[in-house]
Amino acid sequence: MSNVDVIIVGGGIGGLSTAFALARLGLKVQVLEQAPEFGEVGAGLQLAPNCTRILDDYGLLDKAKSLGVVPERMVMRDAIDGSELTSLDLRDLERTYGYPYMVIHRSDLHGLFLEACRTAGVELLTHQRVTAYAHAEGNATVVTEDGTTWVAPLVIAADGLHSVARKLLVDDEPVSSSYVAYRGTVPIPELTRPVDLSEVVVYVGPRCHFVHYGLRGGDLLNQVAVFESPKALAGLEDWGTPDELDTAFAATCDDVRAGMPHMWRDKWWRMFDRDPISTWVQGRIALLGDAAHPPLQYMAQGAIMAIEDGWVLAEHLKRLRAGDGAPDWDGALAAYEAVRPEHCRRVVLTARAWGELWHLGGRAREQRNLLLRHRAIDDYSFTDWVYGPTALFPEDEPPMFEPIPLATADLIVSNS
């Protein structure tokens, strides 16, 4: 039996941030990571105010800002003609929500939480592939590949898109979007085009989009190219290949095509999510992060939702402690499950809709562009529900935005 209070399966950003949040309460936390070492693969992450608010609560915001970039503006452009569609003044955004919008390398944020966990006394174990979860009297157990059984009052499954624990709750599979992402980071001196590192820029186009922004204090440019794969739509196994990348972006503007030579062409990320579920807890086993709510990337909230999950769970454990300091595990899990699934359902489904909006072509693209150009720069009606304080109770969850039908663009034209 493990002499710990909480076992967390998975040492990614969600697992480590949750381990730190719980260790701050004085709990003994153990993280089981299947890889030979702790680390993250990928490039940049965008951290909206709902995340930087939590980093500040953890005392980690200043360090995160020193590792990343705090941009001044977010800009959406048309990928075909390069024209500006709409923007966010991120300095005003910070004044509105009280915390900054920043970008950071995924490995830097992961390393920040890893260091924080070590300082907080979290037990970090590698080479621990968990193959089974089960319930015990007043506890939960996990079994690793070598046959070892680990027991604790609470087990948190932060084991990602292909979660083993999720199968306890629902018999489902990841949902393919037929889109694929290529990434690449470029040292600024190697760029062949001028780039404004004070901006986060997304170019939206028919069945494709392209994102770039600075990282590591402006030393690197992070780039992401996403497109719909014809091979995936045709049901082929080998999809998202570099030849499809080149074809997908052949008709885009000069600035977008100038980024293509800098993409990593030996690795690509097929984009999956899962349909939302409302049950995340079974006994003393709880899903967290992508195990519970893997999203498509369009809202840049995937890692943030995992960080929020851990913060919410820790806040309820802190709130519900008995007079002798003993955790009310069941009460905290019930409170966690009462609030987080609905918020994350909204994000997952909105990310799907946002992806459809980005990738419109033909007449629908023209309508979208017109609506975006008419958006007031200080209109935060589409971000208030997600960038505000993370809800601890269902009644704290703000109302959703009201979608604007594309046909509204035709009314703008007729009235102009």
Number of domains in the chain: 1
Asked if residue 204 is part of any domain, the answer here is: no
Secondary structure class of 279 (helix, strand, coil)? coil
Asked if residue 233 is part of any domain, the answer here is: no
- CA 140 – CA 155 distance, rounded (Å): 6
Provide the pLDDT for residue 1: 52
pTM for the model stands at 0.97
- CA 280 – CA 292 distance, rounded (Å): 6
pLDDT digits (tens, 9 = 90+) for 156-198: 999 999 999 999 999 999 999 999 999 999 999 998 888 899 9
Asked if residue 228 is part of any domain, the answer here is: no
Q: What letter represents residue 274's amino acid? A: R
Asked if residue 11 is part of any domain, the answer here is: yes
Contacts of residue 285, defined as CB under 8 A and 6 or more positions apart, other chains included, come to 133, 135, 140, 155, 156, 157, 165, 168
Closest by Cα among 101, 108, 242 to 180: 242
Asked if residue 414 is part of any domain, the answer here is: no
Asked if residue 192 is part of any domain, the answer here is: no
Active site residues: 213
User: Which residues of the chain fall below pLDDT 70?
Assistant: 1-2, 416
Asked if residue 415 is part of any domain, the answer here is: no
| Domain that includes residue 93, residue range | 6-173+274-396
Write the CATH number for 342: 3.50.50.60
pLDDT digits (tens, 9 = 90+) for 139-164: 999 999 999 999 999 999 999 999 99
